[in-house]
Amino acid sequence: MSQAAISAENAERPTGQAVKRASLGKCPACGQGNLFSRYLKVADHCPHCNEALHHQRADDGPAYLTIFLVSHLGAPLLMIVYMAWRPSAMSMIISFSLGAIILSLALLPRIKGAFVGFQWARRMHGFGQGPDPALP
């Protein structure tokens, strides 16, 4: 392996930039290709730069963080709304249930993307092993 290939392989990957790109649903390496092939299915490779993305191991972390954020945003808001306006129980159940569902569906792919971007930037779970032998 040449010295240039070794230095390119060990080049610094800016974590903030990778997390931002991936949280927006783009490849953490190039920022152009789509990170997801479906709603939460991470593509095996970036369609733009061919970066291998199948190494990601986000697992349950994004779901736990989403639940944590939605519940910690919803609980104080629920108390504030109840104390200020005293709405009926049924209107609170419907509105806060819909709000929690919508917020969860909006946050989950962004948080999962951030997890994948962080793993890519830190070369975790096989992201730093060099060229993927499965690629043509």
> pLDDT band for position 120 (50/70/90)?
very high
Mean of pLDDT values over 35-48: 96
Evaluate whether 71 touches 53 at the Cβ level (below 8 Å): no
Residue 11 pLDDT > 90, yes or no? no
Q: Give the Cα separation of 2 and 118 in Å (integer).
A: 28
User: What mean pLDDT, rounded, does the chain reach?
Assistant: 90
Which helix (H) or strand (E) is 26 found in, with range?
Answer: none
Q: Between 4 and 82, whose confidence is greater?
A: 82
Residue 9 pLDDT > 90, yes or no? no
Mean of pLDDT values over 44-53: 95
> pLDDT band for position 79 (50/70/90)?
very high
What Cα–Cα distance (Å) separates residue 49 from each residue in 12, 37, 56, 65, 67? 18, 15, 17, 29, 33
Identify the weakest region by mean pLDDT among 3-12, 82-91, 106-115. Answer: 3-12
